[in-house]
């Protein structure tokens, strides 16, 4: 089940910064910028999914509560999960949303 409180908090942070499209996908809620997923709230993991620059993945994994995002048992470079206890703090939530928005916003926009 998706943490709707966290979805609402992310919605407030994201909406105040850039135009965003919100979609229910992969059992959670994703926030897209220019057609690229920036952040999402995972329904199964209960964590914040964050798109990060691939070259920064290892560095960002050293931050508290960050762990690899895995699909079919394989860690995906450029994606992290941040534990719910970490993003319960507003400053941490803003930090991680900013990371995701900055990276997604740096990518060429996808055609609709």
pTM, two decimals, is 0.91
Compute the distance between CA of residue 33 and CA of residue 36 in angstroms, rounded to an integer. Answer: 5
In a domain, 36, yes or no: yes
In a domain, 68, yes or no: no
In a domain, 73, yes or no: no
In a domain, 67, yes or no: no
Of the candidates 52, 45, 11, the residue with the CA atom closest to the CA atom of residue 28: 45
| Domain count within the chain | 1
Strands 66-71 and 28-33: unpaired
Residue 47 above 70 pLDDT? yes
Residue 26 above 90 pLDDT? no
DSSP character string of 49-91:
EEE--GGGHHHHHTSTTEEEEEETTEEEEEEEEE-HHHHTSHH
Q: Do the beta carbons of residue 61 and residue 68 sit within 8 Å?
A: yes
In a domain, 4, yes or no: yes
Taking residues 95-108, what's their average pLDDT? 96
In a domain, 98, yes or no: yes
**Domain containing residue 17:** 1-57+87-106
The predicted pLDDT at position 68 comes to 94
Strands 21-25 and 28-33: antiparallel
Structure tokens at 7: 């979805």
């Amino acid at each position: 089940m998706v943490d709707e409180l966290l979805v609402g908090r992310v919605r407030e942070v994201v909406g105040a910064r850039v135009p965003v499209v919100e979609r229910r996908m992969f059992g959670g809620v994703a926030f897209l910028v220019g057609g690229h997923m920036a952040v999402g709230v995972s329904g199964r993991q209960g964590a914040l999914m964050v798109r990060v620059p691939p070259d920064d993945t290892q560095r960002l994994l050293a931050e508290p509560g960050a762990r690899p995002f895995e699909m079919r048992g394989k860690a995906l470079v450029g994606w992290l999960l941040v534990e719910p206890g970490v993003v319960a703090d507003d400053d941490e939530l803003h930090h991680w949303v900013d990371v995701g928005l900055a990276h997604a916003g740096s990518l060429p926009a996808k055609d609709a």
